[in-house]
Each structure stands twice: as structure tokens, then as C-alpha cells.
């Protein structure tokens, strides 16, 4: 973990909304003249947590104009779990845990990419019921869940015949809000329920029967839409970057390992990291992420969690 504390000042230039994290040959902290803080570090893999400390205080608002705004998606109104396109945008929902995945390319990450990567799926071949837990960065009032089953995407695969939706504030104590049976012929499952405040949503799925009558050993889900609206900010113990907006990230090894993972508040799961290739010293020595904190804060510290804590170091 890299930790940097700031001197706390009161001036028109020290309360930026934007933080820029870069990769290069140095380790240093500078106050950039363009309106945001820039941190340059050596490491090539940054795990899922930038922590920015917050203390009381209100600063002056500075007008900052940037290129590289987040990609705009056409998403139906009310959907709160969509992952930002190209890893650029606001981080509201991530995958907390799940029963299994048949391959890296079929992880439940893709349940949140219905509109940016609509032809991707979550496939689980583990024994028993399949399940996935969605975690929101704040408390949301949730009222509806929709998911797209395998029908219409693949042949001779079994649709989910029964499913349950549960919600929780802490990810431990669960309340059932919906339970549907006899839905094996529905290509799209759509259930509404009484508005429920939650930070976690759990979807439990029964495996179906193939067209030839054989029991299917997998579920294949082509996206989930969760509908609701923000109810309250969660307590992040003074960390103000969780759930904020990534304006621009320079590089990532794949769509699952973008800089948006820095904003999910999870710095212990190696599957939710920012992973990028080593920069070229001559052409592009720095990889970077520009984060919009969406408000102005008196910033007191900066924590960067390196993946060397979780992934074996591979010699060059």
C-alpha cells in the first residue's frame, strides 16, 4: 500500500474535484497547475482501492474543462447497476460474490454490461443453485429486477425455471423480496416488488432442462437490470472516492480490469483490480486515471493498494 498525506490548506487551488493517478519511473506527489492532483507510482498493477481521506471544510469551486469525458450509453431510465462503458463513468454497482463461473470470459461481471457489451454472459456450471450478489456503493431504494435468460441466444440450453431475489443492508442478513416459479418459458424474467432500501441484491437461480429433455448443468444469463434510485450515502469511513466517476483511464489489459475498479471500495479481491501494460519510456511512459470526486473536499490523505499483496510477482 502506498500512503501519502497532504498538508491541509485553504486557498483557491487546493480543493480539486479531480485526482489523477499515473504510472511511470518515479514515485512522487506534485500539485499540478491544471487543477488536479497528480500521483506518479512505479507499480504496474493497482488493486481495487484508491482511498482519499475527508475532513470537514468547504473550499472554493474551480472550473475545470477536460477532454475525455465518459462514454455515453443509452440506458433505460431507472437502471442503477450498469457498469460504465469502456470503464469510464460512474461506479454504482459491482459484483460482490457468486457461486462460480465457467471461464474468465463468462464471469458475472458481464451481468452489469447489458448495454455496453450486450452479447456477453455469465455462465455457471457449479453444483446446486447458481447465485450472484450485487453490491452498491451507496444505499438504493430498489423496486424491480430484470434478467435475460439463454433462450434466443443459444440452442438446446435450459432456461431458469425458478428464481429468488433477496436484499440486504450488510450482505449478511437477507430479506426475500421476490420468488418466481414456472418461468422456464420466459426468455426475459421481469419482477417488481415493494421499494426496499438495500446495498446488496442477491439473485438465486435454479438450473433448467434442455430442449432434448436432459437436465442442464449450467445457467447462462445475458445481463441483469436492477431498477431503483439512490436513498442515502453509505458510510465509507471518510473515503470519498468510492462510487465516484472515472473520467478517463489510459490503459487496461481487458474490459474487466479497467481503472474504474479503483472506485469500488474493494481492495482485497484480485479480480477487481486495475491492470495495465508497462508503459513505453519513449512514447507513453505514464498510465493514468482521472477521477471526478463530484464535489469539493478538504483532502487529507491518499492510499493506493498494490496488487503485489495478492498476486505472485512474475520475474521479468
| pTM listed for this prediction | 0.79
Q: Mean of the pLDDT values across residues 183-192?
A: 97
When pLDDT is averaged across residues 291-304 and rounded to a whole number, the result is 86
Amino acid 18: pLDDT: 55
pLDDT value at residue 102? 96
**pLDDT tens digits, one per residue of 164-173:** 999 999 999 9
| pLDDT score, position 71 | 53
Q: 239-281 pLDDT, tens per residue?
A: 999 999 999 888 888 899 999 999 998 888 878 888 888 777 7
- Position 19 scores a pLDDT of 53
pLDDT computed for residue 160 by the predictor: 98
- The answer to whether the beta carbons of residues 296 and 27 sit under 8 Å apart is no
Q: What angle do CA 228, 231, 232 make, to 5 degrees?
A: 145
Q: What is the mean pLDDT of the chain?
A: 79
- For the cut 60, the answer to whether the pLDDT of residue 202 exceeds it is yes
Neighbouring residues of 111: CB distance < 8 A, sequence distance ≥ 6: 81, 95, 122, 132, 134, 147, 221, 223, 224
What was the pLDDT predicted at 304? 81
Tell me the mean pLDDT in the region 86-94.
91
- Average of pLDDT values for 271-295? 83
How far apart (Å, rounded) are the C-alpha atoms in residues 281 and 287? 11
Amino acid at each position: 500500500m502506498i500512503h501519502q498525506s497532504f498538508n491541509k490548506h485553504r486557498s483557491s487551488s487546493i480543493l480539486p474535484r479531480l485526482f489523477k493517478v499515473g504510472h511511470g519511473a518515479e514515485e512522487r506527489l506534485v500539485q499540478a497547475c491544471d487543477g488536479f492532483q497528480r500521483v506518479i507510482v512505479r507499480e504496474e498493477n493497482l488493486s481495487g482501492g484508491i482511498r482519499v481521506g475527508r475532513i470537514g471544510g468547504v473550499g472554493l469551486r474551480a472550473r475545470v474543462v477536460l477532454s475525455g469525458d465518459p462514454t455515453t450509453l443509452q440506458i433505460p431510465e431507472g437502471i442503477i447497476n450498469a457498469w460504465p462503458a469502456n470503464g469510464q463513468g460512474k461506479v454504482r454497482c459491482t459484483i460482490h460474490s457468486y457461486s462460480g463461473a465457467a471461464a474468465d470470459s463468462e464471469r458475472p461481471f458481464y451481468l452489469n454490461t447489458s448495454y455496453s457489451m450486450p452479447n456477453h454472459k455469465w455462465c455457471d456450471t457449479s453444483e446446486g443453485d447458481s447465485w450472484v450478489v450485487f453490491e452498491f456503493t451507496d444505499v438504493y431504494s430498489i423496486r424491480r429486477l430484470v434478467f435475460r435468460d439463454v433462450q434466443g441466444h443459444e440452442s438446446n440450453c435450459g432456461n431458469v425455471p425458478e428464481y429468488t431475489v433477496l436484499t440486504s443492508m450488510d450482505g449478511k442478513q437477507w430479506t426475500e423480496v421476490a420468488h418466481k416459479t414456472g418461468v422456464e418459458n420466459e426468455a426475459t424474467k421481469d419482477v417488481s416488488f415493494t421499494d426496499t432500501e438495500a446495498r446488496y441484491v442477491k439473485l438465486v437461480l435454479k438450473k433448467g432442462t434442455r430442449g432434448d429433455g436432459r437436465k442442464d448443468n449450467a445457467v447462462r444469463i445475458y445481463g441483469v437490470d436492477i431498477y431503483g434510485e439512490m436513498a442515502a450515502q453509505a458510510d465509507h469511513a471518510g473515503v470519498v472516492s468510492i462510487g465516484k466517476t472515472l473520467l478517463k483511464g489510459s490503459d487496461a489489459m481487458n474490459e474487466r480490469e479497467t481503472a474504474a475498479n479503483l472506485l469500488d471500495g474493494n481492495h482485497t479481491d484480485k479480480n477487481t483490480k486495475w491492470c495495465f501494460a508497462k508503459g513505453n519510456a519513449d512514447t507513453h511512459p505514464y498510465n493514468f486515471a482521472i477521477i471526478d470526486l463530484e464535489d469539493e473536499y478538504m483532502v487529507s490523505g491518499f492510499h493506493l493498494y498494490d496488487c503485489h499483496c495478492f498476486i505472485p510477482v512474475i520475474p521479468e
